[in-house]
Amino acid sequence: MPTEIGPDHHLSYDDIVKLTKAKQIYLIDVREPQELKEAGELPESVNLPLKDVSKALGELSDSEFQKKYNATKPGLDAPLVFSCRAGGRSLKALQTALELGYTKAKHYKGGFMDWEQHTKSKNS
């Protein structure tokens, strides 16, 4: 039975900024690598495409994860936050992570489009 996703699983731009500054986040971007090259990426995020989430988080050893994604594999109690372009894929990744036992997993509901909107408005 799927884990219930409630309002506390959805983070905003301000939440992401605050958690990143406090180093209380393990940010995973579930877009494809080509999307990141074309559109840009969230600062300090690990690219883990949606199609890889279940296997990477559920089956890979720490060393295999490190080798494939050039990042430390998060523990089950890590403050995971998934992001994508607009929030759809990150919600799927969140559901997968919760089912795998990642108890503190959340997602950035606005995704990269929201990030870009906020950062462009601050820089103009």
Which residue of the set 11, 16, 50, 84 is catalytic? 84
Q: Which of 120, 42, 55, 122 is nearest to 85 (CA)?
A: 42
Domain of 117, CATH number, reads 3.40.250.10
The answer to whether residue 3 sits within a structural domain is no
The answer to whether residue 89 sits within a structural domain is yes
Band of residue 2 on the pLDDT scale cut at 50, 70, 90: low
The answer to whether residue 62 sits within a structural domain is yes
Identify the sign of the CA torsion 38, 42, 43, 45. negative
The answer to whether residue 47 sits within a structural domain is yes
How many domains does the chain divide into?
1
The answer to whether residue 1 sits within a structural domain is no
- pLDDT reading at 102 higher than 50: yes
68 is catalytic: no
In Å, how far are 20, 27, 59, 88 from 44, measured between CA atoms? Answer: 8, 7, 24, 21
pLDDT, tens only, 4-18: 788 889 999 999 999
Domain span at residue 100?
Answer: 9-123
Average pLDDT, the chain: 93
Q: Which of 79, 81, 82 is nearest to 24 (CA)?
A: 79
pLDDT, tens only, 19-39: 999 989 999 999 999 999 999
Q: Which of 45, 60, 48, 47 is nearest to 100 (CA)?
A: 60
Band of residue 122 on the pLDDT scale cut at 50, 70, 90: low
Q: Give me the pLDDT at residue 70, please.
A: 95
